[in-house]
Amino acid sequence: MPDELRSHAWFSAEGVNGFAHRSWMKNGGVPHRMFDGRPVIGICNTWSELTPCNAHLRGVADAVKRGVYEAGGFPVEFPVMSLGETIIRPTSMLFRNLVSMDVEESIRGNPLDGVVLLCGCDKTTPALLMGAASCDLPTLVVSGGPMLTGRFRGRPVGSGTTVFAMAEDVRAGRMSQDDFLAAEACMSRSAGHCNTMGTASTMASLVEALGMGLPDNAAIPAADSRRLVLAQDAGRRAVEMVREDLRISRILTRQAFENAIVVNAAIGGSTNAVVHLLALAGRIGVPLELDDFDRLGHALPLLVDLMPSGRFLMEDFFYAGGIPAVIRALGDRIHREALTVTGRTIGAETADSPCWNPEVIRGLDAPVKERAGIAVLRGNLAPGGAVIKPSAATPALLKHRGRAVVFESVEDLAARVDDPDLDIDESCVMVLKGAGPRGYPGMPEVGNLPLPRRLLARGVTDMVRISDARMSGTAYGTVVLHTAPEAAVGGPLALVRDGDFVELDVEARRLHLDVPDAELTRRAGDWRPPAPAAAGGYQRLYVDHVLQADQGADLDFLVGCRGADVPRDNH
């Protein structure tokens, strides 16, 4: 136990301040004995009916509270802004940093000794981790869990992945709108986040790989009673972590981030993990660079056969052994001495973790795909870097040269992509501008540009696509993302014109615009920055201060750990 708990500054105070802090808490029926020096555990909840993935977190919070009480702590639940990928506009990524500010200031300004973060939908996990990392209290994560497998006419429906495929079939005339609506009713059949290895499942998996969650945090389905058992265990463990003074900075080390990069490659995780891990590392003060993802992860094989890179879904992954089985299968590719929230090393936690289905979780000797981790591309089109997920791409397109067909904005794309007079064929390279952190604003998940309807009708299923946007972790295709610097700040992407030739060579890590340097210099001289994407409020603050994708797209003034020193009193 630390010499003195933070909460003592509030609840052990004498005079009017101590009276006020305790008395108003008592209006909820809190007995005086709860202020007798027991650890106060904050339960940071992203519950919201506007975030369907997180709409069950009230029940999860109740389970955490039971664990806190069981261990002799005092649980206090507090809300923060919730981000639902399926509803919020213009994009949830715009508000990730805002939520992190909400979390950071809520923790620092209140009498909390430790924190349990309740996450689910994509951005809630990195946002809560980033905010908590800036405070550095004993902290652990409980994810909401994936939804159960949906089925449509006898076959599984993967959140996002199957939807994208069906939507293309509708546009191509291969599926009726009535069938599309029928499938819609089958997909989300229980509480929980996406059941593919999208960003929500990826970040829940990386919580385990980072050591920030209890074993099986990622894969237990939201509707499974074992999710509530895990939540209660987490509440109990949070109290113990306070007594051990096991802070987040002792867990989020360089080794932990390297483990996360390795696991992300092995599970076929989302490209969104790149910007989130970079931002989180920046908050805790761990050196991490974009090239680390390629150096540490690209040569690794894909071990998990899950959509969008494979066949199965998260429910199957749980039954097969989940992340503990993957970490064990990775052997010495994992820093097994890295500490976890259990107080044990990740190696000790996974040493006896079995794989129950080798079809779902493969061994290193029989992977789903070889060299399937995220690749970082550079060249005159992306001097700051760009990323591609080879495991979700068409192998024949990973080395390609094609004529650029340029869309200046997502509105321009929507207006012209299905125009029968659009001069495009399957050998072309689709280029989208204005979808980066500043340009949109917020870097939306529009990087997997829809293919032209007339090409879909001919049976074309993939093309090379390049943008400064992100892509849903549930999506697939030969899609180059996070091109930096972005077009809105004058990056080379802004200079691409219709008819230019673009060269992609993933093996050589090359993304090249085949235009003479002198011509690019001339175009740069003619380029004029677009009008600011936002006129005021938080969005203008974001546009003025957001870093580029290769730096994690955090706000420049949020980088670093500010600690949790007790603020001045309010009286």
All residues at 6 or more sequence positions from 332 whose CB lies less than 8 Å from its CB, including other chains: none
Q: Taking 90 as the threshold, does the pLDDT of residue 162 lie above it? A: no
Cα-trace Rg, the chain: 24
Q: Taking 70 as the threshold, does the pLDDT of residue 59 lie above it? A: yes
The pLDDT value recorded for residue 165 is 86
pLDDT digits (tens, 9 = 90+) for 12-25: 999 999 999 999 99
499 in the same domain as 430: yes
339 within domain boundaries = yes
362 within domain boundaries = no
Amino acid identity of residue 168, one-letter, is: E
- Token pair of 560 as six digits: 């670093």
The CATH number linked to 249 is: 3.40.50.2300
432 in the same domain as 459: yes
234 in the same domain as 119: yes
Look at residue 445 and give its three-state secondary structure.
strand
Residue 169: band (very low, low, confident or very high) from pLDDT cuts 50, 70, 90 = confident
Amino acid identity of residue 202, one-letter, is: T
- Token pair of 140 as six digits: 């652990």
- Average pLDDT, integer, range 219-237: 98
212 in the same domain as 176: no
Neighbours of 471 (CB within 10 A): 29
Percent of the chain scoring above 70 in pLDDT: 99
58 within domain boundaries = yes
pTM: 0.96
105 within domain boundaries = yes
Q: Tell me if 66 sits within 8 A of 232, measured CB to CB.
A: yes
Residue 499: band (very low, low, confident or very high) from pLDDT cuts 50, 70, 90 = very high
CB half-sphere exposure, 193, CA atoms < 13 A: 35
The pLDDT value recorded for residue 1 is 58
Strands 385-388 and 375-377, bridge-based pairing: antiparallel
Q: Taking 90 as the threshold, does the pLDDT of residue 75 lie above it? A: yes
Q: Which of 122-131, 247-256, 363-372 has the lowest mean pLDDT?
A: 363-372
- Token pair of 222 as six digits: 């939201």
- Average pLDDT, integer, range 416-443: 97
Q: Tell me if 103 sits within 8 A of 34, measured CB to CB.
A: no
The CATH number linked to 533 is: 3.50.30.80
What is the pLDDT of the chain when averaged over all its residues?
95
pLDDT digits (tens, 9 = 90+) for 256-309: 999 999 999 999 999 999 999 999 999 999 999 999 999 999 899 999 999 999
225 in the same domain as 143: yes
* Domain range enclosing 7: 1-28
Give the count of domains, the chain.
4
Q: Taking 70 as the threshold, does the pLDDT of residue 2 lie above it? A: no
356 within domain boundaries = no
18 in the same domain as 114: no
Which residue, of 132, 160, 187, is where some domain finishes?
A: 187
Enumerate the H helices of 268-370 as residue ranges: 272-284, 290-297, 314-320, 322-330, 346-350
pLDDT digits (tens, 9 = 90+) for 450-491: 999 999 999 999 999 999 999 988 888 999 999 999 999 999
254 in the same domain as 198: yes
320 in the same domain as 290: yes
60 in the same domain as 20: no
400 in the same domain as 302: no
Q: Taking 80 as the threshold, does the pLDDT of residue 198 lie above it? A: yes
The pLDDT value recorded for residue 191 is 94
CB half-sphere exposure, 545, CA atoms < 13 A: 16
Neighbours of 29 (CB within 10 A): 6
Residue 415's Cβ-count burial label (10 Å; 0-12, 13-18, 19+) is: exposed
Question: Nearest-CA neighbor of 524 among 479, 485, 551?
Answer: 485
| Alpha carbon distances (Å) from 373 to 235, 278, 389, 457 | 34, 17, 7, 31
206 in the same domain as 178: no
